[in-house]
Amino acid sequence: MRCRCFRMMETNTSLVPIIISKQFWAEASGIFFSSNTFHFQDAQPLRRLAITIRKFVERVSDIMITLQSPLDMAVWASILTSSILGRFRNIRGLTLEVIVVPAWHNNILQRKDVMRDARWKALKLPAIIRAFQQHELKEEHTAVVFARVVYGHDDGEVMSSIVDAQGLERIIKDQLLDHHPRRLSKRGQGGE
């Protein structure tokens, strides 16, 4: 199930979900956070969620991120640090949707070494992948999709279609599934 209903309202101290009853929320929040996929098209809402009440954030298990353009990767890489993603302790899946612009077909989609290629590094894709590698993502909950957005001529309708990225989806997914546990300092582990 993909949750698009999670609306946030700003308060003086944090962002909290709009709720009807505190008692109901206390009982239902565990199920809500662990059984929905939280879809982000912008990096700031993910950051705001990450710094909200820890017990809610720790229950989030599935995230979907839509990268709207190649330049979007650098913005996301600056937000998706190990510190921010480390707050999501129970992530088991990521759907990474990359919106493809026409120029990519002849250039970037041909480059398969996503972790070492200079062009991918400039776009910050390796940083995004490394940030998620600290979580032991499950294959059945992880996907990479390249899509093209097509705008309707008359009615302004927006449609998307899947792009054949010639195996690049699998390469990126395999990198995301390559688990590298986050190393914490002694202070971060509670040691002295």
Q: Find out whether 171 and 129 touch, Cβ atoms under 8 Å.
A: no
- What pLDDT, on a 0 to 100 scale, did the predictor assign at position 138? 96
- What pLDDT, on a 0 to 100 scale, did the predictor assign at position 154? 60
Cα Rg of the chain (Å, integer): 18
- Angle, vertex CA 148, rays to CA 66 and CA 71, nearest 5: 50
Res. 7: pLDDT tops 60:
no
Q: Which of 132, 94, 130 is closest to 115 using CA atoms?
A: 130
- What pLDDT, on a 0 to 100 scale, did the predictor assign at position 28? 78
Q: How far apart are CA 31 and CA 140, in angstroms?
A: 20
Of the two residues 72 and 188, the one the predictor is more confident about is 72
pTM higher than 0.85: no
2-3 and 37-40: which strand pairing? parallel
Res. 3: pLDDT tops 60:
no
- What pLDDT, on a 0 to 100 scale, did the predictor assign at position 5? 40
Q: Find out whether 66 and 99 touch, Cβ atoms under 8 Å.
A: yes
To the nearest 10 degrees (0 to 180), the angle between helices 125-133 and 72-79 is 30
Share of residues in the chain with pLDDT > 90 (%): 44
pLDDT band at 183 (very low <50, low <70, confident <90, very high): low
Of the two residues 64 and 20, the one the predictor is more confident about is 64
